[in-house]
Amino acid sequence: MTNPLLDLSGLPRFAEIQPDHVAPAIDTLLDEARAAVRHAEQLDPVSWETFINPLDDAIEKLSRAWGAVGHLHAVINTPALREAYNARLSAVSEFYASLGQNLALFRQYKRLADSAEYASYSPTRKKVIANALRDFRLGGAELDDAAKQRFSAIKAELATLAARFEQNLLDATDAYSLDVTDEATLAGLPDYTLAACRAAAEKAGIAGYRFSLQMPIYLAVQTYADNRNLRAQLYRAYHTRAAEFGPADWDNTGLIEKILALRAEMAQLLGFASYAAYSVEAKMADSPETVLGFLRDLASRALPHARKDRSALEAFARDELGIVDLQAWDLAYASEKLKQARYSFSEQEVKQYFTEPKVLAGLFGVIESLYGLRAEPDQAPVWHPDVRFYKLVDAQNQLVGQFYLDLYAREGKRGGAWMDDARNRRVRPQGTQTPVTYLTCNFGAGMGGKPATFSHDEVITLFHEMGHGLHLLLTQVDEYDVAGLNGVEWDAVELPSQFMENFCWEWDRVQAMTAHVDSGEPLPRALWDKMLAAKHYQAGMGTVRQLEFGLFDMILHHQRPEGVSVLNVLEQIRDEVAVNRPPEWNRFPNLFSHIFAGGYAAGYYSYKWAEVLSADAYAAFEEAPEAAAETGRRFWREVLARGGSRPAMENFRAFRGREPRIDALLRHSGMAG
């Protein structure tokens, strides 16, 4: 088989995939999927084996091949790959949009639901059918031909606009550099940051240090650089990316308005009052008003703490740092200095202990203690030399699943951290297809022969993404459409990821995942006690910042007053909940890829929504620490294993024995009472 994208017998052949493979492979798989759809439309009678299984087969092939292309587009973006991706993006988007509008398939699912054999179906199969019928209605299957055509065109255009939004952001990030030769300008910066910037300058053939907007560099400057002008310079560059201040071709401003208008039109075609109302139809929350009420209730609890945080920071910056006009580019720097003064430790000091080999061993140890599974190195073709591959096996050495780990930032790689599936679980005639997932971060790599070191926040990020991965890897659902994350309500998707973060705050586990990069000594208990004392540091400010994003997203998609600009909507929300106001030239919306290029449109609230669930779930371990293994197996059985085979609230109730409560979240955030 000459085209590696057409070989779906095993793992993706990343070492062989080239941009010119994309068009012929995707065209072939689209043709096969369309043929399967035509066959399914005409089946009589319909049954699970003759209707759903063959349809799933064809669609899964396309999804896996296109998923590999999309993954490469995100992690090794090149001009040729981008061109190949964009050239087939509309066709793939149109195919999936047409599935949701296919009235003939809709009728076939209804026939299956009305058939004699339906009564004998498992609850999982019944859930597949119920989800499909709902999604056909949400996909426009009941629209007339003209409206259906318009709906499909909107879906395709939205996919193209989202890709452009992300590409503009990537291009603007990669294009920026700041060269510094004056050593005095670099005061306060960690050695690992200086080494990375020196290496970048050497690679460019220049003297001194080259700064980029890659997250490890940008955050280090904002947090540690004593030179206020350097902080301000990088802050402005970072927060004006993909806006009107740079090349017009990279400006996301117009894309935002187009995306919002198209989403509103799409929702209107289906009879919804807003895109937000359309979005929550398949989520746990029952209405946008419920979401807004939840966010504002949490804001009322967090704002007193946030205002206290801000006042303390202003006083410290004025009295100890001589900063009388605390600006956005001073926040991280002053916050770190105040933390050091208040708790007598620095994040730089902590970071030296979290070395990559120990952190990974600690992460894998948590998985083994909770679920009895071992993570072991495995072999697979990869897209970059830094990428590792692992397998999860049970006590009988049986394969449960596999995962790729791509930890480091680099040019051509999308920012942030995420998990995606390479292959989902399915039961096939020849046996069970085990799941495979991608886990991607953007940390700084090791330098000078030393291993990479992570901040505690980066360790939490890694655990978070592994939580998403475990949601896919530990599914025990046999039906593809509700296995893993398939069919899971969007506002419940963050439950397993945020749940995993809690184990980064258990002393025994943390000590086991530390070894100083130079001495090899584990994290001292005295330093850990300081970290623990600082756990709730600025929790109020952090909470209202997330609520600001969630409210902005929901109001943009639900209650945006006519004629009010996106930036003015954001300013009004800041009037309501913010304690830190960025400068007027800050273009945060142009960077907000979660809602304009990701899956979080009218769903960003789900981080906080799921945090209530995850904090309460972890409280079960706090209540019975001696039974952690038993509780872990129950969490696996009732939450992770279930995938989308039953509603997320039923999963939670089965695990906790009751409805979720907000108390644990407030306690974990230091805002109880």
Identity of the residue numbered 375: A
* 3-state class (DSSP) for residue 514: coil
* DSSP 3-state of 408: strand
H or E element that contains 202: helix 191-204
Q: Nearest to residue 643, comparing CAs of 423, 437, 401, 471? A: 471
Tell me phi and psi for residue 513, to 5 degrees.
-105, 25
Any idea of the CA torsion for 544, 550, 552, 554, to the nearest 10 degrees?
Answer: -150
3-class SS of residue 556: helix
Q: Which of 290, 337, 288 is nearest to 312 (CA)?
A: 337
Q: What DSSP line would sit under 484-507, residue for residue?
A: TTTT--GGGTHHHHHHHHGGGG-H
Angle CA 271–277–280, to nearest 5 = 125
Instruction: Give CA separation, 634 vs 66, 370, 472, 574, 627, in Å.
Output: 35, 10, 17, 41, 11
Phi and psi based region of residue 322 (left: phi greater than 0; alpha: psi -120 to 50; beta: remaining):
left
Report the SS3 class of residue 152: helix
**Cβ–Cβ under 8 Å, residues 200 and 210:** yes
Chain-centroid distance, C-alpha 30: 28
Annotated active-site residue in 166, 356, 458, 465: 465
Q: Give the Cα separation of 260 and 256 in Å (integer).
A: 6
Using the CB atoms, write b or e for 278-289: b if 16+ within 10 Å: bbbbebbbeebe
> 91: burial class by Cβ within 10 Å (0-12, 13-18, 19+)?
middle
How far, in Å, are 291, 559, 597, 658 from residue 256 at the CA level? Answer: 22, 16, 10, 41
**Tokens 């035509």, located at residue:** 38
| DSSP secondary structure, 593-618, as one string | HHHHTSS-TTTTTHHHHHHHHHHHHH
Residue 57: closest CA among 426, 483, 437, 485: 426
User: Catalytic: 336?
Assistant: no
Residues designated catalytic? 465
